[in-house]
Amino acid sequence: MFIQFDDPFNDPPDDPSRKPSHPVIRAIKIGIGFLLLLVGIVMFVTPGPALVLIPVALGILASEIPWLRRHLHELRVRIHEYRMRRKAEKEKGKK
């Protein structure tokens, strides 16, 4: 049983009006994103907030990489659908 919910996010992943960044700024953002992603992966085996740092890194990368932006958008929608389904099941169970 799959319930389709409306997209709760108003940020279309393929917005044609989005201006591309300057190449230097883009390279800096991608470099910082990959560096934070690498540090986040290392934090899985060492003490540190890996579960906070990895989504931040992916968000920075998604600001410059269109296919990652699409995948993160789809992930956000699926998480929202899952939460709404769980909420509906809880309310149904209380009755």
List the chain pLDDT tens, one digit each, 95 residues.
444 445 555 555 566 566 777 889 999 999 999 999 999 999 989 998 999 999 899 889 988 888 888 888 888 889 889 999 999 888 887 76
Rounded CA-CA distance 80/6 in Å is 10
33 token code pair: 């994103």
Rounded CA-CA distance 69/22 in Å is 18
Closest CA to 3 of 67, 71, 92, 94: 92
**Alpha carbons within 13 A on the beta-carbon side of 28:** 5
Burial of 69 (0-12, 13-18, 19+ CB in 10 A): buried
